Structure 1
Amino acid sequence: MDLPEEILAHIFSFLPLHDKCNAFTVCKAWSNTMTHPSSWKDTEVRCESGNSLPERFSDLLPLVRNLKLSMSLTDPANRKTGLCVLRQAVAGGEGQLEALSICCVGNPPLFYAGQDLQQGLVDILTNGSSLTVLDLRGVPFTLNDSFIRSVSMLCPALKSLYINNHSLVCGVNAETLRQALKCCPSLTVLGVFQASLSEDVLKDLMLPQRPALNKLELRCERSLKYTPPLCDQIWSEVKRRHPYLWVELELDHTLPELHVPGVLQPSIPVRCLRLLTWTLLLDEVHLVQRSYANTLEVLELQTPPSPELNSALVSLAKQCVKLREVHCFCVVSQEVITAFITHCPNLSKYTLKIYKEPHPWTCTKLK
């Protein structure tokens, strides 16, 4: 059965560039469909082999509205190709690229700081940008203050900004984040290191002229030990100003254990909590049960197993009934699994094992 060109183009839009190249050669009808703007609205480009972009597709990159750029950092040629793709999508599209996600694969060269990519991105965006989404969670190097200030000034239409990547340290201070909020008045989704936050940043987010903050992703790692803790009162004020705020907390294994209680303030409207500390988390599980029972929807734990943990998880399951996902990467008892299935009616998937399995552990889907 022949599909209408619009539907076929929509299907093609989800293919990565390599598969779009293959689809282009199947038949004349598919070849014509590949020039339809909808085929390029959502496009993933992978720069992993050092090969240049197929010439016939260079002219179509300006049609891209949502670009996911994946590149290997091991070869400078891959980074050069990635920047070339981005330049064509931004400049050739006359600033109509709306969403950009950059993801780096493979091990970066020793001491690689990503300066070429950061400066290249700034140079490209100087040509004009209407980006509303910028996602840099997939880059492994430290994002610095100068880069974030430049990007925020060049992309004033940003609504979503993710800079909570998995670099070893936080390179963005609170004043830089405040400057980004001034430059991007429409930001409603923000992903940052918690070390970049301050009471002044949260107060800026509560200004009456700012739109409702929809989501706040916070990565908590060792840099937090150098910053003043945020008190529960300021979080209570944030929750009143933004009653529908979704907060995602990720506690990294580099976060000193003594700082964990200071992060888990009771008034934070936590919907998603990832405790990836590999430390004993009995007190934290009890705290989560008391503080986040009315909001928590996703819970992930990496902790040693124990009978006490099983008891704490059973108690948590009875309180946090809004949970949709729970993932515990240690062996638990059958009683724990039964408790979550019984008391959490919205549970759609879980990773709970009564025996050790080879890595990676499989997730059980209920819905």
Structure 2
Amino acid sequence: MELPEEILAHIFSFLPLWDKCNAFTVCRRWNSTMTYPSAWRQTEIRCDSEIGVPERFSEFLPLVRNLKLSVSVSSSENRRTGLEVLRQALAGGEGRLRALCVNCLGNPPLFYAGQDLLQGLLDALTAASSLTELDLRGVPFTLSDAFVKGVVTLCPALRSLFINNGSLVCGVGGETVRDVLRLCPGLTALGVFQASLSQDVLQDLLLPRRPALKQLELRCERSLKYTTPLPDHTWAQVSRMHPALAVDLELDHTLPELHVPSVLQPSIPVRHLRLLTWTWLLDEVRLVGRSYANTLEALEVQTPPSAELNEALVELATRCTRLREVHCYCVVSPEVVAAFRKHCTDLRRYTLKTRKEPHPWTCTSLR
């Protein structure tokens, strides 16, 4: 029995780009199937080798709705190819492409700041007013106020914007984030450096006509030491105004230990917490158990091992029973493993080691 073309198209959607283009030439039926937009809904184009991209890929770009563009920044030729893909994917502004994710591969040349890629993206977005999702978390270059303002000015239909990338420097200020909220009135998902937030930004989220914010990702690093901590009572107001809000917090190793408590405000509805500071986190682990018991679904901890940490983790397991993932990158006691498996009935994956193992540590999957 032959599969319906709709099902074949869904299967083809998981193929790499070259295989998709090759499938187009296999037979007449596959040729017809490859014209279904569902076959191209999730598409990754990689510009990371001398092979490049298929010559006929541009024929299929009108069918692509969600594009992930991976570019090797170590090669100027690959960067030029990536820029050409961007130009063609966004050409015309006819509302075809809905979601764009840009990811950089390899090691950039010395003193290379990615300005050609960033400016090329702005140039390509000139007529892309229907883009609704933009993910720049894989772009490791400092994003400026001017760049972000340019993006949101050109893409007012954005519903999700992620600029919490791996840069060592936060280049986006609070006023720019306020512009993002003003120029993209339908925005429901936002990822930024926490240093880019301000009291005024949170107050803007409390405006009565503001659409409900559902996802907020915050990357916390060294820039926070130059900002004023956000008060817990304002976070409480934001949580009441946006009851479906889920916050993902990442505390980077560059964040000074002194500033960790000011980040972990009890009223933040934290869903995913990554404590990657490599500092002593006993008080913080206890605080997490007390403050985020009703919201926390995933926890990642990097800290030195100790008997006190084992006790704190056991207590956390009894409180945060909604956890689906827990990853602790230090040796823990068997009691810690047993506590999470007993109390967290929705647990799906965990990294909890009772003895040292070669890195990278493997994750245990329960479902």
Fold conserved between structures, TM > 0.5: yes
Say if 1:25 and 1:31, in contact at 8 Å, map to a contact too. yes
Structure 1 equivalent of residue 249 of structure 2: 249
2:283 counterpart of 1:283: yes
Deviates more, 1:310-319 or 1:23-32: 23-32
Structure 2 equivalent of residue 326 of structure 1: 326
The one-letter amino acid of 1:168's match is L
Per-residue CA distance 1:44-99 (angstroms, 9 max, x = gap) = 10110144432222121121110011111000111111111121111156232100
Determine the C-alpha separation between the residues in 1 that align with 2:211 and 2:14. 31
Determine the C-alpha separation between the residues in 2 that align with 1:57 and 1:248. 36
Structure 2 residues without counterparts, runs of 5 or longer: none
The normalised TM-score by structure 1 is 0.97
Say if 2:92 and 2:128, in contact at 8 Å, map to a contact too. no
Shift of 1:6: 1.5
Structure 2 equivalent of residue 169 of structure 1: 169
Structure 2 equivalent of residue 206 of structure 1: 206
Shift of 1:289: 1.2
Shift of 1:37: 2.4
Specify the SS of the correspondent of 2:56.
Answer: helix
Shift of 1:350: 0.6
Structure 2 equivalent of residue 186 of structure 1: 186
Say if 1:15 and 1:44, in contact at 8 Å, map to a contact too. no
2:141 counterpart of 1:141: yes
The one-letter amino acid of 2:244's match is Y
Say if 1:62 and 1:90, in contact at 8 Å, map to a contact too. no
The one-letter amino acid of 2:365's match is K
Shift of 1:25: 3.9
Structure 2 equivalent of residue 98 of structure 1: 98
Determine the C-alpha separation between the residues in 1 that align with 2:23 and 2:352. 41
Structure 2 equivalent of residue 362 of structure 1: 362
Write the mapping of 1:35-54 to structure 2, written as runs, cut at 5 A. Answer: 35-54=35-54
Write the mapping of 1:1-367 to structure 2, written as runs, cut at 5 A. Answer: 1-91=1-91, 94-367=94-367
Determine the C-alpha separation between the residues in 2 that align with 1:234 and 1:13. 44
Say if 1:61 and 1:92, in contact at 8 Å, map to a contact too. no
Determine the C-alpha separation between the residues in 2 that align with 1:17 and 1:140. 24
Per-residue CA distance 1:327-357 (angstroms, 9 max, x = gap) = 0011111110000001111111111011222
Determine the C-alpha separation between the residues in 2 that align with 1:216 and 1:37. 30
Say if 2:18 and 2:53, in contact at 8 Å, map to a contact too. no
The normalised TM-score by structure 2 is 0.97
Structure 1 vs Structure 2 CA RMSD? 1.3
Task: Quickly say closer, same or farther: Cα 1:19–1:359, change in 2 above 3 A.
Answer: farther
Say if 2:74 and 2:109, in contact at 8 Å, map to a contact too. yes
Determine the C-alpha separation between the residues in 2 that align with 1:121 and 1:325. 35
Deviates more, 1:19-28 or 1:113-122: 19-28
Determine the C-alpha separation between the residues in 2 that align with 1:105 and 1:128. 25
Say if 2:325 and 2:348, in contact at 8 Å, map to a contact too. yes
What is the percent sequence identity of the aligned residues?
72
Shift of 1:365: 1.0
Shift of 1:105: 1.1
